[in-house]
Amino acid sequence: MVSYSVEVSGSDPRTVTCGEDQRLLDAFLRSGVYLPNSCNQGTCGTCKVKVLSGSVDQPAPSETVVSADDQAAGHVLACQSTPTSDVRIEVPLDAGTGPRHVLRDLCGTVHEIRELADDTVALAVGIDEPLDFSAGQYIEFRVPGTGDVRQYSMANPPSRSDRLEFHIRRVAGGRATDGWIFDSLQHGHPIEMRGPWGDFVHDRDVDAPMILLAGGTGLAPLKSIALEALSADPEREIHLYHGVRHSRDLYDVDFWESVTRRHSGVRYVPCLSREDGADRRGYVGDALVEDFDSLRGHVAYLCGPPAMVDAGVRACKRRRMPGRNIHREKYTPAA
């Protein structure tokens, strides 16, 4: 197979080998070299890099992701681009640093499928060798017989690295959910996976009081983050708001109530947007604003549908939380 060298220029130049059919991002992460990344689908723009020399192939990105000016200046998406020659790239100066866990292909075996709520299951998958990942990251599943992949965040903390837990909601007519996971997937079946991916990770160096805002199965990565934080500091102050539409969509209530009994710093606030019956009626961002006069000195992690995350970020800022303390991951339920 033809391969090329790809170099990140700058004060700390790094070079990796990339196959002609391999995406630049995949090549860097497989070599344990960090590049900013989030969606791995060409929709968020996090992995935007500038090609300084050489050439790549990529499907034309949307101008909402890479502006026409940036495209003309040589900016491409590393998660979508394959090299057609040796390449030198530049990463934005404010890209920072992130998880350096080596991306790899994984073979998993279904250990358990447990119903959590209406149309939502917890899937436990044993893997061939423990996976090094950061709390908050996700894995891609290959959907058998389709060539498609779907992304699911780990709900278990990184310390439990040989058995991964995922929360999966059924999407009507979805190839991966209706057509596979909720249809034929059973205990003992193999699953092909690739990961870990993503920059939405628990910052273990920050021990500030933590706000967790989850929408639907966006609870999964926040569970991983909370459990890791509590294992480092059982007294950690954590306020978890879980928003769903109806009480039938709420899940893991007993689990979180038992966590609040064992850890006096943890507060758990389920919120129903379409009916009464939980602690709160309404959206998680509104509940947060009602509960706090100020969020200065707090750190927040938000995961859920885009509208929920945007509203949650506005709520945090309204209560004066600095933007740098707000970590967010938007997702659209994978069909």
**Considering only residues 76-115, where is the footprint of ligand FES by CB under 6 A?**
77, 79
Which tokens sit at 303? 């995961």
Q: Which is nearer to ligand FES, 17 or 41 (CB)?
A: 41
Structure tokens at 5: 């060298």
Among 5, 15, 31, 43, binds ligand FES (CB under 6 A): 43
Considering the complex, state which of residue 46 and residue 82 has its C-beta at the smaller distance from ligand FES. 46
Among 4, 18, 40, 157, binds ligand FES (CB under 6 A): 40
Question: By rule CB under 6 A, what count of residues binds ligand FES?
Answer: 12
Q: Could you say which of 37, 58, 120, 156 contacts ligand FES (CB under 6 A)? A: 37
Closer to ligand FES by Cβ: residue 200 or 268 = 200
Q: Which stretch binds ligand FES (CB under 6 A): 33-41, 51-59, 216-224, 249-257?
A: 33-41
Where does this chain touch ligand FES (CB under 6 A) — which range of 44-52, 125-133, 252-260, 300-308?
A: 44-52
Instruction: Please state, in angstroms and rounded to a whole number, the distance separating the CA atoms of residues 280 and 314.
Output: 19
Question: CB of residue 100 vs ligand FES: minimum separation in angstroms?
Answer: 16
Residue 189 neighbours by CB under 8 Å, 6+ apart:
109, 110
Interaction between residue 27 and ligand FES (CB under 6 A): no
Q: How far is the CB of 302 from ligand FES (least distance, A)?
A: 17
CA pair distance 110, 126, nearest whole angstrom: 6
Q: In what order do the strands lie in the sheet with 3-8?
A: 14-19, 3-8, 87-90, 48-53, 75-77
Listed ranges 35-43, 187-195, 208-216, 254-262: which one lies at the site for ligand FES (CB under 6 A): 35-43
- Side chain identity at residue 110, one-letter code: V
Residue 44 interacting with ligand FES (CB under 6 A) = yes
Q: Which residues contact 326 (CB under 8 A, 6 or more apart)?
A: 299, 300, 302, 313, 316, 317
Residue in 177, 179, 180, 178 with CA at minimum distance from that of residue 167: 177
Q: Does 42 bind ligand FES (CB under 6 A)?
A: yes
> What does the H/E/C string look like for 226-272?
HHHHHHHCCCCCEEEEEEECCHHHCCCHHHHHHHHHHCCCEEEEEEE
Closest C-alpha among 217, 220, 47 to residue 133: 220
Which C-beta is closer to ligand FES: that of 201 or that of 278? 201
